[in-house]
Structure 1
Amino acid sequence: MLPLQQFKDYIKKNALFTPQQKILLAVSGGKDSVLMVQLFKLCNYNFSIAHCNFNLRADEAQRDESFVRLLANSLNIPFHVIHFDTKAYANAHQISTQMAARDLRYQWFEKIRVEENYDYVAVAHHQNDSIETLLLNLTRGTGISGMHGILPKREKLIRPLLFLSRLQIDNLIESNHIDYVEDSSNESTKYARNKIRLNVIPQLREINLNLEETFAQNIIRFAETEELLEQAIATKREEISRELNGDVYFDIDKIKLLKPQKLILFELLKRYHFTNFVVDEILGALNKQSGTSFYSNTHRATINREELMISALLKEQTHEHHFMHPTDESVVIEGEKISLFYTNSNYVENNANKAFVDLEKLIFPLIVRFRQDGDKFMPLGMRNFKKLSDFLIDKKVPLPQKDKIPLLINGNGEIIWVAGLRQDNRYKVKATTKKVAIFELLK
């Protein structure tokens, strides 16, 4: 038997949807999503099925699509399907295939939801998915918000299977003789999540046989702790900030009195997408002169006398600014490509098309943009600043080309590299450098 009452209770407890609402189910054909279909059908909920064919696994992808189509037809359920050129999308956006597939499917789900008037999109994440997410977040670095795992409901996305573990789903599929298809990529350790699933969690289960139950309780506690922290941050925000003409101003003297300082400032600035590294740099610059700026993907933080001013980047600025994160292999700007890789060697080349940078000095995300008025840097080999405009004149760069030279900018606003011409002396590799970031300009 299937746990219909437990399923209904979980939906009601978390206010996922009402029986009258129309739900779009994301169905891959695997055990999790097929079980979700069966539960929705037996509970007589109003739903349809959506399937994405990412064209990544040749015959397997077509097999999966055919299976889900047959499942929908056998249950007399409306069926939506789409085909993606996932690799082309990943290349065009300079992201991983996994990230491309994620972006494509959620964009399409939302498009179908709006066009066909569905109330919610349901995905078949379960308890182990939540555990994997938590462990991945801890491995990569996270605040308290990254410790609550996967939430049952986020805007128009719902996850009605989070009350079940992977083992429970496996047993339900087997005992009820439910057909499904197996994705061979689930067994590949090429992906970080699979490494957690296949190598880490089995080891943890040897320590704690009730791993899923323990993590479920942990996640509840983390979520409650996050709620408490959010209340404290909201109070602190009112005490030390003000808004004026769309900008937000934080009192620097009050920032200095925060305890714990970094945690609270990070939470205050999180909504503006400033990274942990940039918050460190901001704290170290509170006594610097006015005008010192730091960037996130969407905002600029500027030391403005006695205040830290947060202002949104204009649309044209975000268009002109290309952001490079530590995991990006490259970024493309107006046909110019800057690649990034790392090495533990202190070896450097005398090559203007490459920059060898001390990784510890980088504040991500980096910015790749073209020149602006007032740009200055410290050319490699010099100890004094030089206006970029004067440097380009000295290098006899033709006027039409001056606005086409990519500049690599640190998260604190400093120029790291005038691509193809000269690196900044402050970021050069030294004998004490532990790890080197190598940037290369590729035409």
Structure 2
Amino acid sequence: MPHQLLNNLLNFIREHFLFDPSQKILLAVSGGVDSMVMASLFKEAGLLAGIAHCNFQLREEESVRDENFVRNLAEKLEMPFHETRFDTEAYATSNKVSIQIAARELRYQWLEEIRSTNGYAYIATAHHLQDSVETALMNFVKGTGIAGLHGILPKTDKIIRPLLFAEKDTLLAWAARRQLTFVEDSSNATDKYTRNFFRHHVIPMMQESMPAAVKNMAASIEKMKEAEILYQEALGRHKKSLLTQQGENWLIPVLKLQKSVPLQTIAWEIFREFGCTSNQLPQVLNLLESESGRYVETSTHRVIRNRAWLMITPVQADESPVVAISEEQSHVHFGGGQLQFRTIEKQHAGSIPQSADVAWLDASQVVFPLILRKWKQGDYFYPLGMRKKKKLSRFFIDQKLSIPQKEQVWVLESQKRILWIVGMRIDDRAKVLPSTSEIISIQLQK
């Protein structure tokens, strides 16, 4: 008669649509009790599976012991065996990450490689109920919001966790009943890592005052999963109502966001996707009351108050490219598009084009090579029709340019004198006059 744990496993796989019994599963087995029980259960259930083991070479003889132990298990269960060794410390150093992150990245990259090249449908890890509770509790303490409180999910992409329903004691009881031997990772006994601190101190203390603490928290986690579905649905509606995309930029109407309830949560969920931290959120919300032009810069974006809107725009890398243009060039490609140059005899020219994307300049005022560059503070020119010079920063205010638009402005200069604010206005000193004999025509294609 099948053991209750085996029935529970099969029910859990069915209820959560983890996989079809005809599919082959790659079991990640460390040699610890959880993964050993998982492999044993899959064998007894008659499910198709192979075993994969990673040696991170962090614990010398212990690592080799675990590797041999898991290889022997694979032989005993008559399952295909896949193994690898990593230089985890070298990877951590070269990628500037902790040993724990290095081990995780190496493990999952390799497991996915084995899965995809050997016909396995999914990778199974042996996370159990207490692992999920520990994760939710750690996330609660870190303040990750509702998404962190669902604990570990039964299925994410190609990774499944078929033992999430089981308590640790149940797995230990199965191992004893089946006389399964397993190895203990010595690092699990230390409090060096945060999870172990929760495992060895926080949860046992909670269980002292409430023995059913883990079960109760697991029930709360299930409720959180369902609450999160409703939360995401409502959030989706708010985002659709508030966010409008314009090319690379996003716009949010200030008044509409101010009236959104609950404001803090909606704002956090929107702006965190644009690199905003929880510490920056109050600064972003202050923009709702500020004057136009104020902004908050996150790690990836800038949130700008622009009249009745908040504009979210990517932070441009400060490339500050400079393009030198010789007299022979007829086409020039640059960050703002393409410029096309040609020389026209004045007598054959016709009337001056009205488009801002075309500049006609008096050839006698143009000395090559020309310099094409982004504008900078302190730049000035004589706007067409004016006898007085004007700073570009002032000109942009008159033109009602937003900060992202200003960042995209290029200028064309000759002998350190601006001839054209590309796509906007030429300099009065370079305009075509009745005395002009030759015209340089420049056309912008964005």
TM-score after normalising by structure 2: 0.68
Secondary structure of the structure 2 residue equivalent to 1:202: helix
- Alignment-derived partner of residue 22 in structure 1: 24
Aligned: 1:289 with 2:283: no
Of 186, 189, 197, which residue of structure 1 is paired with 2:188? 186
CA distance in 2 between counterparts of 1:31 and 1:317 reads 53
Label 1:102 to 1:251 Cα distance change in 2 as closer, same or farther (>3 A): same
Unmatched segments (≥5 aa) in structure 2: 320-373, 378-446
Q: CA deviation at 1:53?
A: 0.7
Q: CA deviation at 1:247?
A: 3.4
| Amino acid in structure 2 at the alignment position of 1:6 | N
CA contact (8 A) 1:282 1:294 kept: no
| Amino acid in structure 1 at the alignment position of 2:77 | L
Label 1:293 to 1:12 Cα distance change in 2 as closer, same or farther (>3 A): same
Label 1:94 to 1:303 Cα distance change in 2 as closer, same or farther (>3 A): farther
- Alignment-derived partner of residue 65 in structure 1: 67
Q: CA deviation at 1:135?
A: 1.3
CA contact (8 A) 1:294 1:301 kept: yes
Q: CA deviation at 1:23?
A: 1.2
Cα deviation 1:189-231 (Å, max 9, x = unaligned): 1111000000111100012111222011100111121111111
| Amino acid in structure 2 at the alignment position of 1:24 | L
- Alignment-derived partner of residue 418 in structure 1: none
Unmatched segments (≥5 aa) in structure 1: 319-371, 376-443
Q: CA deviation at 1:54?
A: 0.7
CA distance in 2 between counterparts of 1:147 and 1:115 reads 34
- Alignment-derived partner of residue 178 in structure 2: 176
| Amino acid in structure 1 at the alignment position of 2:89 | K
Q: CA deviation at 1:312?
A: 5.0
- Alignment-derived partner of residue 204 in structure 1: 206
Q: CA deviation at 1:68?
A: 0.7
CA distance in 1 between counterparts of 2:15 and 2:195 reads 29
**What is the identity percentage for the equivalent residue pairs of Structure 1 and Structure 2?**
40
- Alignment-derived partner of residue 249 in structure 1: 251
CA distance in 2 between counterparts of 1:299 and 1:45 reads 49
CA distance in 2 between counterparts of 1:317 and 1:110 reads 37
CA distance in 2 between counterparts of 1:119 and 1:38 reads 19
Q: CA deviation at 1:27?
A: 0.7
Secondary structure of the structure 2 residue equivalent to 1:204: helix
Label 1:270 to 1:24 Cα distance change in 2 as closer, same or farther (>3 A): farther
Label 1:300 to 1:105 Cα distance change in 2 as closer, same or farther (>3 A): farther
CA distance in 2 between counterparts of 1:149 and 1:288 reads 42
Q: CA deviation at 1:299?
A: 4.5
| Amino acid in structure 2 at the alignment position of 1:197 | R
Q: Which has the larger radius of gyration?
A: 2
| Amino acid in structure 2 at the alignment position of 1:111 | E
Which residues of 2 match residues 271-282 of structure 1 at below 5 A? 271-282=273-284
CA distance in 2 between counterparts of 1:11 and 1:200 reads 31
Label 1:220 to 1:373 Cα distance change in 2 as closer, same or farther (>3 A): farther
Label 1:293 to 1:144 Cα distance change in 2 as closer, same or farther (>3 A): same
CA distance in 2 between counterparts of 1:223 and 1:271 reads 21
- Alignment-derived partner of residue 342 in structure 1: none
Aligned residues: 321
CA distance in 1 between counterparts of 2:237 and 2:151 reads 25
Q: CA deviation at 1:254?
A: 1.5
- Alignment-derived partner of residue 120 in structure 1: 122
CA contact (8 A) 2:275 2:298 kept: no
Which residues of 2 match residues 99-248 of structure 1 at below 5 A? 99-248=101-250
Cα deviation 1:126-161 (Å, max 9, x = unaligned): 011011111111222210011111111111111000
TM-score after normalising by structure 1: 0.68
